[in-house]
Structure 1
Amino acid sequence: MQGSVVVVKFGGHAMVDADLQRAFARDVVELWQAGLRPVVVHGGGPQINAMLDRLGLETRFAAGLRVTTPETMEVVRMVLTGRVQRDLVGHINAHGPFAVGMTGEDAHTMTAVRRAAWVDDRPVDIGLVGDIVKVNPGTVRALLDQGHIPVVSPVARGEDGQIYNVNADLAASALAVALDAERLVMLTDVEGLYANWPHSTEVIERLSADALDELLPGLASGMLPKMEGCLRAVRGGVRKAHVLDGRVPHAVLRGVLGETSPGTTVVPEADADHDGSPAHDECAV
């Protein structure tokens, strides 16, 4: 794996726990020191919710995605790029001059179109939520070649000039494919994908893209973008995608460098064992 790109989506409870933030930053630097080339894509759900609440704006989700009005989009852009990204860059750079912050808007790195959404087989308007249709990874590659760790906020511009809020899981997946990454790592607030939630907390340790495709329609909304991102990644050429519990210190190191990964691992080939039971999860995005 020496020299390989590893894209890590940072989100969940770890984003609001100072100790976990610092532990995550150390893990990312250790990946870099081990000869890998980490790229971080971050979410910011809790911080966005808090700011919307302070401003008296409504927080709504549909189909696992944040309903984004023009007013909400202003808050999303401000919080992601002005606070969350800055904090994360600062934690990583406490260990040296590694991290450089950017957004999907920069150098047209990510181009998005308005995303359609469906709930109970009916279309719903989720506002300025984008789906990535094109990635130009040149700026990210240049930063990696210079020895930096890119930290990317999931905001993208459309060809219509509109700015879109992009789900961080799906942004990380699209970037991983464009960078021909070896691994995609999704941090969340559960142990992995449950085999038969809520009747069991048994985690599916490994499954193929085809098996995940079958399970996807039955997933609860919180886990849906994460597993959709994993599916897109492995079908786009990423060798493995991991869903890990970000509440566990050093989950990233264990997932990437360990002989066996905790959580759930998605692989392209149909060599994964799972029981085929419907999988559900109550994880919040």
Structure 2
Amino acid sequence: MKVLDYKQGILNMDGLIKKAGILIEALPYIQKLYGKTVVIKYGGNAMINEDLKNSVMEDITLLKYVGVNPIIVHGGGPDITKALQTYNVESKFINGLRVTDAQTIEVAQMVLVGKTNKEIVSRLNCKGGKAIGLCGIDGGLIECEKYKTVVDGEETDIGYVGKITNINSKVLQHIAQDEYIPVVAPIGVGKDGQSYNINADTVAGAIASALKAEKLMLLTDVPGIKTSGDSDDVIFEINKDEIYELIDTGVINGGMIPKVLGCIEALDAGVNRVHIIDGRIPHCILLEIFTNTGIGTMITNK
């Protein structure tokens, strides 16, 4: 028999009621997202810090248990760089993309598919999820061709870096709409079977577009889109036209430009909402989509 101290229970009641209020606040968002697909690009500091790793895995597992269909696309640049260092191979980047020769693509595939992907799958499974690790080679999930970047007005070959030509969405639909959580490594495959390294943001956007996902969420190491370069104020909601205005005025600059343009491409392809959120905040996914205020920037069509 267990007995509750009634007086102590009364003292704790306010805290319990506040917890109930948090759950009720989440209710309409859970109802709206039930049965919908949410693509999450997992990267940045949330892949490095142990506490943040755990909170992200808990968030994703909870999403699945309340009826949302999360699909995870992960990066792994630091792991690749560290592995290359053991082979005394210097990492080179052009326009933000890793120059990927034959040895580098071999190491990148080994790290992303064999190490990083399986670690995420294992962590999700430990939280009670049923995760399945995939890469673009599996079932022809991510078909691609060689991508050439432009340097000083000329096309430049940067090796085995892929440009996505097709996403085999059926593979992901079958898995995500069942009881499983797909975890996708950003390795694509060419018509000749050659593997290609692809930017994880690009893969997440392409998958969200192919599936007409309800949401695309990008976990970053920034709070979101700021109102100006020297401000700490983060824009809560913004539409495509306003994004272009901020680019023209220089408020959005540097590495944030390709990220937001990728978000706009996803919206144009049918994704309902795109979120840029700070992966350094514990439980950032739940805070963004299950609370009234959110914690990052939501980008909409209008």
TM-score, length basis structure 1: 0.88
* Contact kept in structure 2, 1:9 and 1:168, CA below 8 Å: yes
Deviation readout 1:153-198 (Å, 9 max, x if unpaired): 011012243211111001001101111210000001111123432x
In 2, the alpha carbon distance for the partners of 1:264 and 1:120 equals 33
Task: Say if 2:121 is the partner of 1:89.
Answer: yes
Residue 285 of structure 2 corresponds to 252
Deviation readout 1:111-166 (Å, 9 max, x if unpaired): 11222323454443322111212111111111123210000001101224321111
Q: Which of 32, 35, 38 matches 2:70?
A: 38
* Contact kept in structure 1, 2:129 and 2:181, CA below 8 Å: no
TM-score, length basis structure 2: 0.83
- Report matched runs for 1:150-165 at 5 Å: 150-165=182-197
Residue 199 of structure 2 corresponds to 167
- Report matched runs for 1:197-212 at 5 Å: 197=229, 199-212=230-243
Gaps of 5+ in 2: 1-32
Task: Say if 2:275 is the partner of 1:242.
Answer: yes
In 2, the alpha carbon distance for the partners of 1:57 and 1:193 equals 35
Question: 1:107: how far off?
Answer: 0.5
Task: Say if 2:87 is the partner of 1:48.
Answer: no
Judged with a 3 Å threshold, the aligned counterparts in structure 2 of structure 1 residues 90 and 260 are, in CA distance, closer, same or farther, namely same
Judged with a 3 Å threshold, the aligned counterparts in structure 2 of structure 1 residues 93 and 258 are, in CA distance, closer, same or farther, namely same
SS of corresponding position for 2:260: helix
- Report matched runs for 1:1-285 at 5 Å: 1-119=33-151, 121-197=153-229, 199-213=230-244, 215=246, 220-269=253-302
* Contact kept in structure 2, 1:206 and 1:267, CA below 8 Å: yes
Gaps of 5+ in 1: 270-285
In 2, the alpha carbon distance for the partners of 1:240 and 1:53 equals 39
Residues matched between the structures, number: 268
Q: Which has the higher helix share?
A: 2
Q: Return the letter of the residue paired with 1:208.
A: N
SS of corresponding position for 1:82: helix
Question: 1:229: how far off?
Answer: 2.5
In 2, the alpha carbon distance for the partners of 1:211 and 1:126 equals 33
In 1, the alpha carbon distance for the partners of 2:238 and 2:158 equals 31
* Contact kept in structure 1, 2:216 and 2:274, CA below 8 Å: yes
Q: Return the letter of the residue paired with 2:240.
A: A
In 1, the alpha carbon distance for the partners of 2:132 and 2:291 equals 27
Question: 1:45: how far off?
Answer: 1.1
Question: 1:214: how far off?
Answer: 5.3
* Contact kept in structure 1, 2:146 and 2:161, CA below 8 Å: yes
SS of corresponding position for 1:101: strand
* Contact kept in structure 2, 1:23 and 1:250, CA below 8 Å: yes
Q: Return the letter of the residue paired with 2:238.
A: L
